[in-house]
Structure 1
Amino acid sequence: MTQHVSPPRGGTGKAAAVDGPPARRVPLGRADLRTLSLLGVLAALILIGGITRPDEFLDTRNLQLVLTQASVIGVVTVGMTFVIVSGGIDLSVGAIVALASVWATTVATQEYGFGGILFTAVAVGVGCGLVNGVLVAYGAMVPFIATLAMFASARGLALQITDGKTQIVTVESVLDLGERDAYVLGIPPLVLVFAVVTLAGWLLLNRTTFGRRTVAVGGNAEAARLAGIDVRRQRLYLYLLSGLCCGIAAFLLIVLSGSGQNTNGNLYELDAIAAAIIGGTLLSGGRGTIVGSVLGVLIFTTITNIFALNNLQSDVQQIAKGAIIVAAVLVQRRTASTT
C-alpha cells in the first residue's frame, strides 16, 4: 500500500527568508478588468480630445509632448508604487526632484558635463531616499512624518542653493536630448527612459523575490517578519528605490526644461499617489500594479493636455482629477468588500 505523506505546514527559516510568505495576488480576471477599464477611460479621453481639438490634439507633436510630460512624473510614480505596495508613503518625492535638479545644475556641477549632471541628480535622489529609509525602517518613524520632514528640508535646501533663481543648463549634450534630432523612430529619448524604468519596475515587482517580499511586507509586516523577511531592510531598499526614481526624474526634467529650479516637482507627490491609486494600488498596502500606475499617469497627463488645449481653467481640471480619485477609491472599496 502506498503511503501518502502530507507536506510540512511551514518551511524552514532559511527557505522562508528566501521566498517569503505567499503574496496576495489579484485574481487574473479582476486585474484584467481593471486594466481594461483604465484603457477604456484613456480611450474615452483621447476621443474627447480628438473631437474638441482634432487638429491640435491628434497632431504628432502634441502626442509626443503628452508622452514626454508623462515620462517625468511616470518615473516617480513607479518608485511610489513600490513604497505604497509595502504599506508606506512618500510625501517627499516632489521636493527630492527639485533638490536633485538644482544640485545637478549648479555651475560647479555643470563643469563635469553630462556625466556630472546625471550622477549628481541620481546621487542626491538616492541620498534622500537613504535618509527616508533609515528614519522609517530603523528610526521607527511613521512614513508620513519622516517623508514630510524630508519634503520641508529638501524644498528649503533647494531654495537656499538657487537663492530663488533659475539655473540655466549650458551643457549641450544634455540639451540635445530634448531636441527632435535625438528622437528614435519618432520617440523622444525621455519616453524611452520611461519605458525602460516601467519595464524594470514591472519585472522587479512581478518576477523577483524582491517584489514578493514587498507585497508580503505590505500585506502583513508581522507575518513577513515571522517568515524570515528582514522587514526593516526591505523598507530601506524601497525608499532607496523611490529616491533613485526621483533622481532619474530630476535628470529628465533638466533635459525637458533646460534648467534647474527650486519649484520643480511641485505637487508630484500628489500626482504620483493619485496615479497609483487609480491604477489599482491599495493605500493600505499588499497590492499594486505597475501597468495600472502607468495608465493612471497617462490618464492624468491627457486630462491636463485636453484642458490646456481647450483653454479651461486649472481649478476645473483639479476638480476633475479629484472626482477620478474618489471614484477609483470607491471602486477599490467595493472590490475589497466583495472579495
Structure 2
Amino acid sequence: MSDRPPTTTAPQPAAALPAQSPPVDPAARPGQRVAPAGRLSWWHGDQGEGARRNLALIGVLVALIVIGALTRSDLYTDPDWVWDNVLSILKLASVVGVVTVGMTFVIIGGGIDLSVGAIVALAGVWCTTVATQSYGAAGMVFSALTVGVAVGLVNGVLIAYGRLVPFIATLAMLVAARGLAAQISGKQTQVSTNDVINGIASTNLLGVPLLVFILAAVVAAGWVLLNRTTFGRRTVAVGGNPEAARLAGIDVRRHTVLLYALSGLCCGIAAIMLTAQATSAQAAMANLYELDAIAAAIIGGTLLSGGRGTIIGSLLGVVIFATITNLFAINGLTTEAQNMVKGGIIVAAVLVQQVQFRSLTQFLARNRATTA
C-alpha cells in the first residue's frame, strides 16, 4: 500500500446546458410559417393571409371613395345621393358578381372558363323564347338554369374526360354558344313579357334592390360551399396538386365536371338577373363578362394556377371594378379610359401574386435546405 494520502477530486462544474429550442408544433407542415404566440397569432400566419388581403381591398375601396369625394364634392355632400349611388354600384356589380362566384370555384380548381358570357347569353335567349315564356316565370327560370348547367357539364366532360385544355375547350364553347344563341333568336332582340321576371330588377326589399339580395345569397352559399364542406376542400386539393388529390382518393375528373356545372349554374342565375334588368335578351348580351369575372377573381387573390382563393375577395374585386366604372361615369370620362385603368389593375394584381409566390417558393426552399 502507498503511504501517500488519498487525494480527493474536486467536483467539476456542471456543463452549461444548451439553450432549449422553442417547441415544435407536430401538426405544422414543412415550410409552413409559424405564427407568433398571442391572441392575434392567426393574423400573422398563413390563416390570416386572406383576411389581410381582404382588408387591403377594403382600403382600395375607401381610397376610391375618397377620390370620388374630392373630384365631385358637390355630389358627395348630398347623403341621399350617396346612398342611391352605393345601391347603384351594388346593383351594377350584382350580375357579374354571381358569375364571378362560379368562376372563382373553377379557377381554384385549376381551370378557366372563357365561355361564361356566352352561357349567360344562351340561357337568356333560351328562356325568353315565345315557347318558354308560355310556361310562365317558373318555366323561364327552370330553362335558364337547365341550359347553364347543361353547357357547364359539356365543358367539364370535354376537359375532364376528353382531356382538352380548359382554355381551348371553353374558347370553343364561347363561339358555339354565341352562335347557337344567334340562331335561336334569329339575330333579333327577344322581349321578356313576364311581369314577375321583369319585376326582379325593379323590386326593392327594405330599400335595397332584390338583385343585391340575390347576389348576397349566392355569395353566402358559395362561401359555405368553399369553406365549410368537403366539396370546397376537394376543390382546393384538386387545384393545388391534382395527382396528390387523385392518390388521396378524390375522383379528380368527376370533381372537375362538377366545378364547370357549378359555373354554368351561376351563369343561369345571372341570365335571369340580366334579362330582368333589360326586359329582353339577345345573343350579344353579357359581352366580355368572362374577362370581368376573371379579373375580379384575380384582384380578390385567386391564383390563376389554382389551389387558393376566397369568395369574399372575389366579391370585393367585383365591387372595386364597379366602383371604378361609377367613378369614371360621374366624372364624365370615357369607357376607353376605364378599360385602360382596369387593364393596369389586372397586370398589377398578377405581378403582386407572382412576387408573393416566388417569395413563398424561396422560403420553402431555404427551409428544406436548413432541415437537410
Deviation, 1:128, is 0.4
Tell me, in whole angstroms, the C-alpha distance in 1 between the residues paired with 2:321 and 2:314. 11
Q: Which residue of 2 aligns with 1:320?
A: 341
Tell me, in whole angstroms, the C-alpha distance in 2 between the residues paired with 1:59 and 1:255. 25
Q: Which residue of 2 aligns with 1:28?
A: 47
Cα deviation 1:296-316 (Å, max 9, x = unaligned): 000001111111121111111
Q: Which residue of 1 aligns with 2:254?
A: 233
For this pair of structures, how many residues does the alignment match?
A: 313
Q: Which residue of 2 aligns with 1:186?
A: 207
Tell me, in whole angstroms, the C-alpha distance in 2 between the residues paired with 1:106 and 1:46. 42
Superposition RMSD in Å = 1.4
Cα deviation 1:20-55 (Å, max 9, x = unaligned): xxxxxx812322221111001111112222332345
SS state at 2:112 partner: coil
Unaligned runs of 5+ in 2: 1-25, 27-44, 361-372
Does the Cα contact within 8 Å between 1:56 and 1:62 map onto a contact in 2? no
Does the Cα contact within 8 Å between 2:200 and 2:273 map onto a contact in 1? no
Does the Cα contact within 8 Å between 2:98 and 2:267 map onto a contact in 1? yes
Q: Which residue of 1 aligns with 2:137?
A: 114
Q: TM-score, normalised by structure 2?
A: 0.82
Q: Which residue of 2 aligns with 1:154?
A: 177
Moved more, 63-72 or 192-201: 63-72
Q: TM-score, normalised by structure 1?
A: 0.90
> What amino acid is aligned across from residue 289 of structure 2 in structure 1?
Y
Tell me, in whole angstroms, the C-alpha distance in 2 between the residues paired with 1:113 and 1:317. 39
Q: Which residue of 1 aligns with 2:312?
A: 291
Match of 2:101 among 61, 64, 78: 78
Relative to structure 1, the CA distance from residue 54 to residue 103 in structure 2 (aligned partners, 3 Å threshold; closer, same or farther) is farther
> What amino acid is aligned across from residue 216 of structure 1 in structure 2?
A
SS state at 2:208 partner: coil
> What amino acid is aligned across from residue 262 of structure 1 in structure 2?
A
Tell me, in whole angstroms, the C-alpha distance in 2 between the residues paired with 1:177 and 1:281. 31
Moved more, 27-36 or 318-327: 27-36
Does the Cα contact within 8 Å between 2:188 and 2:282 map onto a contact in 1? yes
Cα deviation 1:231-260 (Å, max 9, x = unaligned): 000000000000000000000101111111
Deviation, 1:336, is 1.4
Q: Which residue of 2 aligns with 1:130?
A: 153
> What amino acid is aligned across from residue 199 of structure 1 in structure 2?
A
Give the greater-gyration-radius structure (CA): 2
Deviation, 1:159, is 1.1
Does the Cα contact within 8 Å between 2:201 and 2:273 map onto a contact in 1? no
Moved more, 47-56 or 153-162: 47-56
Moved more, 263-272 or 167-176: 167-176
SS state at 2:205 partner: coil
Q: Which residue of 2 aligns with 1:302?
A: 323
Q: Give the % identical residues.
A: 63
Tell me, in whole angstroms, the C-alpha distance in 2 between the residues paired with 1:55 and 1:283. 41
Runs of 4+ in 1 over 6 A off after TM superposition: none
Tell me, in whole angstroms, the C-alpha distance in 1 between the residues paired with 2:243 and 2:116. 27
Cα deviation 1:83-126 (Å, max 9, x = unaligned): 00011000000000000001111111111111111111111100
Relative to structure 1, the CA distance from residue 146 to residue 259 in structure 2 (aligned partners, 3 Å threshold; closer, same or farther) is same
